[in-house]
Amino acid sequence: MNDPELVNQMTAKSWRMWVLPAILLVGLILRVMYLGERSDFPDFHQPVGIAAYHHDWAASMVSGDWTVPEGFPDPEISGHPYVVPPGYPWLLAAAYQLANPSPWTGRVVQLFLG
């Protein structure tokens, strides 16, 4: 184990092993800081636009009331195409089922998605 080349290879390998986790940790810290900063804005607690559409759709799935929010088109494909891909409200509904149907839950889900 006194071979300097072997020691250098092991040091380089262990250094590279920690680069990705360090980058991911810095990214997570920055996202959490952004989430805290953004929580002071009025639209954070009362979503508007497409965020409101996603929130209302997911919350209605959790509550069992599948009526379309007022002012939004019916997402049924036979009527007209989806405004947005339908998978995201389903993901939000799953998160709302685990936590609670609030904009905070949606923001935390989005924090991990990017």
What pLDDT is recorded for position 100? 85
pLDDT class of 31 with cuts at 50, 70, 90: very high
pLDDT class of 94 with cuts at 50, 70, 90: very high
Give percent of the chain above pLDDT 90: 18
What pLDDT is recorded for position 33? 93
Give the residue, 81 or 25, on which the prediction is more confident: 25
**Where along the chain do its domains lie?**
1-38, 43-114
Q: Is 55 within 8 Å of 61 (Cβ atoms)?
A: no
**Predicted TM-score (pTM) of this structure:** 0.66
